[in-house]
Protein backbone atom coordinates (compact mmCIF):
# COMPACT_ATOMS: atom_id res chain seq x y z
CA UNK A 1 0.00 0.00 0.00
CA UNK A 2 2.82 2.43 0.78
CA UNK A 3 4.54 3.35 -2.46
CA UNK A 4 7.40 5.86 -2.40
CA UNK A 5 8.47 5.19 -5.97
CA UNK A 6 10.02 8.35 -7.43
CA UNK A 7 10.06 10.14 -4.06
CA UNK A 8 13.20 11.50 -2.41
CA UNK A 9 13.25 11.56 1.39
CA UNK A 10 15.85 13.40 3.50
CA UNK A 11 16.33 11.72 6.89
CA UNK A 12 18.44 13.60 9.43
CA UNK A 13 20.28 11.60 12.07
CA UNK A 14 20.10 8.60 9.73
CA UNK A 15 23.03 6.81 11.39
CA UNK A 16 21.02 6.46 14.62
CA UNK A 17 18.39 3.93 15.65
CA UNK A 18 15.14 5.47 14.38
CA UNK A 19 16.85 7.24 11.47
CA UNK A 20 18.48 4.09 10.08
CA UNK A 21 15.24 2.11 10.45
CA UNK A 22 13.38 4.91 8.63
CA UNK A 23 15.93 5.01 5.81
CA UNK A 24 15.70 1.21 5.33
CA UNK A 25 11.89 1.39 5.32
CA UNK A 26 11.89 4.21 2.75
CA UNK A 27 14.05 2.14 0.41
CA UNK A 28 11.90 -0.98 0.99
CA UNK A 29 8.87 1.11 -0.06
CA UNK A 30 10.57 2.12 -3.32
CA UNK A 31 11.89 5.58 -2.36
CA UNK A 32 15.32 7.18 -2.57
CA UNK A 33 16.86 8.48 0.63
CA UNK A 34 19.33 11.20 1.54
CA UNK A 35 21.10 9.98 4.66
CA UNK A 36 22.28 12.76 6.92
CA UNK A 37 24.29 12.62 10.12
CA UNK A 38 26.93 14.60 11.97
CA UNK A 39 29.88 12.53 10.69
CA UNK A 40 30.29 10.97 7.24
CA UNK A 41 32.30 7.95 8.42
CA UNK A 42 31.44 4.70 10.19
CA UNK A 43 27.67 4.15 10.71
CA UNK A 44 26.56 6.60 7.99
CA UNK A 45 29.00 5.19 5.42
CA UNK A 46 28.02 1.63 6.34
CA UNK A 47 24.30 2.39 5.89
CA UNK A 48 24.96 4.13 2.57
CA UNK A 49 26.91 1.06 1.45
CA UNK A 50 24.06 -1.23 2.51
CA UNK A 51 21.40 0.79 0.64
CA UNK A 52 23.53 1.25 -2.50
CA UNK A 53 22.44 3.62 -5.27
CA UNK A 54 19.08 4.29 -3.60
CA UNK A 55 20.92 6.31 -0.93
CA UNK A 56 23.20 9.32 -0.76
CA UNK A 57 25.07 10.39 2.39
CA UNK A 58 25.60 13.99 3.49
CA UNK A 59 27.22 15.15 6.75
CA UNK A 60 26.37 18.35 8.67
CA UNK A 61 26.58 19.38 12.32
CA UNK A 62 23.10 20.55 13.37
CA UNK A 63 24.57 22.17 16.47
CA UNK A 64 25.40 24.88 13.91
CA UNK A 65 22.00 25.87 12.45
CA UNK A 66 23.58 27.64 9.43
CA UNK A 67 24.82 24.24 8.24
CA UNK A 68 21.28 23.34 7.18
CA UNK A 69 21.40 25.60 4.12
CA UNK A 70 24.23 23.56 2.58
CA UNK A 71 22.66 20.32 3.78
CA UNK A 72 19.35 21.09 2.06
CA UNK A 73 21.11 22.16 -1.14
CA UNK A 74 23.18 18.96 -1.19
CA UNK A 75 20.01 16.91 -0.72
CA UNK A 76 18.29 18.77 -3.59
CA UNK A 77 21.30 18.43 -5.89
CA UNK A 78 21.35 14.62 -5.67
CA UNK A 79 18.13 13.81 -7.59
CA UNK A 80 17.00 17.35 -8.40
CA UNK A 81 14.17 17.27 -5.83
CA UNK A 82 13.28 16.41 -2.25
CA UNK A 83 9.69 15.34 -1.49
CA UNK A 84 9.86 14.59 2.22
CA UNK A 85 11.90 16.01 5.10
CA UNK A 86 12.21 13.80 8.19
CA UNK A 87 13.60 15.88 11.07
CA UNK A 88 14.92 13.00 13.17
CA UNK A 89 18.37 13.94 14.53
CA UNK A 90 18.40 14.66 18.24
CA UNK A 91 20.43 14.55 21.46
CA UNK A 92 19.59 13.78 25.06
CA UNK A 93 22.25 15.55 27.10
CA UNK A 94 21.77 16.67 30.72
CA UNK A 95 21.58 20.18 32.20
CA UNK A 96 21.43 19.92 35.99
CA UNK A 97 20.06 22.71 38.19
CA UNK A 98 23.31 22.64 40.18
CA UNK A 99 25.49 23.13 37.09
CA UNK A 100 27.10 26.57 36.90
CA UNK A 101 25.24 29.04 34.70
CA UNK A 102 27.75 28.82 31.80
CA UNK A 103 27.46 25.05 31.58
CA UNK A 104 23.67 25.18 32.01
CA UNK A 105 23.23 27.78 29.27
CA UNK A 106 25.58 25.95 26.90
CA UNK A 107 23.59 22.73 27.39
CA UNK A 108 20.28 24.54 26.73
CA UNK A 109 21.66 26.27 23.62
CA UNK A 110 23.13 23.05 22.18
CA UNK A 111 19.97 21.00 22.75
CA UNK A 112 17.73 23.74 21.37
CA UNK A 113 20.01 24.15 18.33
CA UNK A 114 20.00 20.44 17.44
CA UNK A 115 16.42 19.57 18.47
CA UNK A 116 14.53 22.74 17.51
CA UNK A 117 16.37 25.54 15.68
CA UNK A 118 18.05 23.37 13.02
CA UNK A 119 14.86 21.37 12.40
CA UNK A 120 13.01 24.69 12.07
CA UNK A 121 15.61 26.00 9.63
CA UNK A 122 15.30 22.79 7.61
CA UNK A 123 11.52 23.29 7.56
CA UNK A 124 12.16 26.80 6.26
CA UNK A 125 14.31 25.43 3.42
CA UNK A 126 11.76 22.70 2.72
CA UNK A 127 8.82 25.14 2.55
CA UNK A 128 10.74 27.39 0.15
CA UNK A 129 11.29 24.35 -2.12
CA UNK A 130 7.93 22.60 -1.67
CA UNK A 131 5.74 25.61 -2.41
CA UNK A 132 7.14 25.84 -5.95
CA UNK A 133 7.31 22.11 -6.59
CA UNK A 134 4.72 19.97 -8.40
CA UNK A 135 3.16 17.74 -5.71
CA UNK A 136 4.37 19.98 -2.86
CA UNK A 137 6.07 18.19 0.02
CA UNK A 138 5.77 16.58 3.43
CA UNK A 139 7.52 17.31 6.72
CA UNK A 140 7.69 14.74 9.52
CA UNK A 141 9.45 15.88 12.72
CA UNK A 142 10.37 13.78 15.74
CA UNK A 143 8.86 15.16 18.93
CA UNK A 144 8.62 13.14 22.15
CA UNK A 145 6.26 12.06 24.90
CA UNK A 146 8.25 14.62 26.91
CA UNK A 147 6.46 17.44 25.06
CA UNK A 148 3.29 16.65 27.08
CA UNK A 149 4.39 14.61 30.05
CA UNK A 150 7.59 16.53 30.87
CA UNK A 151 10.95 14.85 31.49
CA UNK A 152 13.42 13.81 34.18
CA UNK A 153 14.97 16.61 36.30
CA UNK A 154 18.04 17.19 34.10
CA UNK A 155 16.12 17.35 30.80
CA UNK A 156 13.73 20.35 30.85
CA UNK A 157 15.51 21.75 27.80
CA UNK A 158 14.87 18.54 25.85
CA UNK A 159 11.17 18.58 26.78
CA UNK A 160 10.93 22.27 25.88
CA UNK A 161 12.58 21.68 22.50
CA UNK A 162 10.17 18.83 21.70
CA UNK A 163 7.15 20.91 22.74
CA UNK A 164 8.53 23.52 20.34
CA UNK A 165 8.56 20.92 17.56
CA UNK A 166 4.86 20.20 18.18
CA UNK A 167 3.95 23.91 18.06
CA UNK A 168 6.09 24.45 14.97
CA UNK A 169 4.40 21.53 13.20
CA UNK A 170 0.90 22.85 13.96
CA UNK A 171 1.84 26.28 12.65
CA UNK A 172 3.36 24.97 9.41
CA UNK A 173 0.32 22.77 8.80
CA UNK A 174 -2.08 25.67 9.33
CA UNK A 175 -0.16 28.26 7.35
CA UNK A 176 1.41 26.39 4.40
CA UNK A 177 -1.16 23.73 3.51
CA UNK A 178 -2.55 25.80 0.65
CA UNK A 179 0.99 26.00 -0.73
CA UNK A 180 1.27 22.21 -0.89
CA UNK A 181 3.03 21.57 2.42
CA UNK A 182 1.75 19.07 4.99
CA UNK A 183 3.44 18.62 8.37
CA UNK A 184 3.23 15.98 11.10
CA UNK A 185 5.06 15.16 14.31
CA UNK A 186 5.75 11.73 15.76
CA UNK A 187 6.12 11.45 19.53
CA UNK A 188 7.86 8.29 20.74
CA UNK A 189 8.04 7.21 24.37
CA UNK A 190 10.95 4.89 25.12
CA UNK A 191 12.59 3.35 22.04
CA UNK A 192 15.41 0.84 22.24
CA UNK A 193 18.18 2.80 20.46
CA UNK A 194 21.71 4.06 21.31
CA UNK A 195 19.97 7.26 22.52
CA UNK A 196 18.87 5.37 25.65
CA UNK A 197 22.04 3.35 26.25
CA UNK A 198 22.98 5.24 29.46
CA UNK A 199 19.44 4.86 30.90
CA UNK A 200 19.35 1.15 30.06
CA UNK A 201 22.74 0.68 31.68
CA UNK A 202 21.43 2.35 34.84
CA UNK A 203 17.93 0.83 35.10
CA UNK A 204 17.80 -2.13 32.69
CA UNK A 205 15.35 -2.48 29.79
CA UNK A 206 12.63 -4.22 31.82
CA UNK A 207 11.80 -1.12 33.86
CA UNK A 208 10.93 0.77 30.67
CA UNK A 209 8.98 -2.21 29.29
CA UNK A 210 6.84 -2.35 32.44
CA UNK A 211 6.00 1.34 32.03
CA UNK A 212 3.99 0.55 28.85
CA UNK A 213 0.57 -0.97 28.29
CA UNK A 214 2.16 -3.56 26.01
CA UNK A 215 4.76 -4.70 28.51
CA UNK A 216 7.49 -4.17 25.95
CA UNK A 217 9.65 -1.31 24.68
CA UNK A 218 9.35 -0.02 21.12
CA UNK A 219 11.91 -1.00 18.51
CA UNK A 220 13.15 1.64 16.05
CA UNK A 221 11.08 -0.06 13.33
CA UNK A 222 7.87 0.62 15.28
CA UNK A 223 8.53 4.35 14.96
CA UNK A 224 9.89 4.11 11.40
CA UNK A 225 6.64 2.49 10.18
CA UNK A 226 4.62 5.48 11.44
CA UNK A 227 7.08 7.99 9.96
CA UNK A 228 6.97 6.31 6.54
CA UNK A 229 3.17 6.07 6.61
CA UNK A 230 2.98 9.83 7.19
CA UNK A 231 5.70 10.38 4.54
CA UNK A 232 3.62 8.44 2.01
CA UNK A 233 0.98 11.17 1.70
CA UNK A 234 -1.80 8.73 2.64
CA UNK A 235 -2.63 10.76 5.76
CA UNK A 236 -2.86 14.17 4.06
CA UNK A 237 -5.86 15.39 6.06
CA UNK A 238 -4.12 14.51 9.33
CA UNK A 239 -1.75 17.42 8.71
CA UNK A 240 -0.85 19.28 11.91
CA UNK A 241 -1.26 16.23 14.10
CA UNK A 242 1.22 14.47 16.36
CA UNK A 243 1.12 10.68 16.43
CA UNK A 244 2.07 9.07 19.75
CA UNK A 245 4.19 5.91 19.55
CA UNK A 246 4.65 5.12 23.22
CA UNK A 247 2.94 1.78 23.87
CA UNK A 248 0.32 3.58 25.99
CA UNK A 249 2.97 4.58 28.54
CA UNK A 250 1.41 8.05 28.37
CA UNK A 251 -2.09 8.38 26.95
CA UNK A 252 -3.26 11.94 26.46
Ligand X SMILES: NC(=O)c1ccc[n+]([C@@H]2O[C@H](COP(=O)([O-])OP(=O)(O)OC[C@H]3O[C@@H](n4cnc5c(N)ncnc54)[C@H](O)[C@@H]3O)[C@@H](O)[C@H]2O)c1
Concerning whether 158 is annotated as a catalytic residue, the answer is: yes
Contact positions with ligand X (CB under 6 A) in 106-125: 114
Contacts of 85 (CB under 8 A, 6+ apart): 9, 10, 122, 123, 126, 137, 138, 139, 140
Catalytic residue among 92, 155, 158, 184: 158
Q: Please report whether residue 38 would count as binding ligand X according to CB under 6 A.
A: yes
Residue 62 found at the interface with ligand X (CB under 6 A): yes
Return the ∠ at Cα 148 (arms to 62 and 138), rounded to 5°. Answer: 50
- Provide, rounded to whole angstroms, the least separation between the CB of residue 126 and ligand X: 17
3-class DSSP assignment, residue 131: coil
With binding defined as CB under 6 A, does residue 65 bind ligand X?
Answer: no
- The answer to whether residue 249 forms part of the interface with ligand X (CB under 6 A) is no
Least CB distance from residue 124 to ligand X, whole Å?
17
**108 φ, ψ (degrees, to nearest 5):** -60, -50
According to CB under 6 A, which one of 7, 9, 10, 19 is a site residue for ligand X?
19
Q: How far apart are CA 28 and CA 75, in angstroms?
A: 20
First to last CA, the chain: 29
184 binds ligand X (CB under 6 A): no
* Residue 85 within binding range of ligand X, rule CB under 6 A: no
Which part of the chain contacts ligand X (CB under 6 A), choosing from 23-31, 123-131, 188-196, 231-239? 188-196
Neighbour-count burial for 131-154, b at 16+ CB within 10 Å, e otherwise: eebeebbbbbbbbbbbbbeebeeb
* CA dist., res. 247 & res. 243, Å (int): 12
Q: In the complex with ligand X, which residue's Cβ is closer, 17 or 136?
A: 17
Binder to ligand X among 144, 182, 232, 249 (CB under 6 A)?
Answer: 144
Q: Which residues bind ligand X (CB under 6 A)?
A: 13, 15-19, 37-38, 61-63, 88-91, 114, 142, 144, 188, 190-191, 193-196
The catalytic residues are 158
Amino acid sequence: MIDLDGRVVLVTGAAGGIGAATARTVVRCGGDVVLHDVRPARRLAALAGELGDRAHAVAADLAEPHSVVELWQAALDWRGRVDVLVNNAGVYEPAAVDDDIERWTAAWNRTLAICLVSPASLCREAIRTFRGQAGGGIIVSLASRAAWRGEDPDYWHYAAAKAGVVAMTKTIARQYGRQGVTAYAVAPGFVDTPFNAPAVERHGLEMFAQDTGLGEVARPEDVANVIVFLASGLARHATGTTVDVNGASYVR
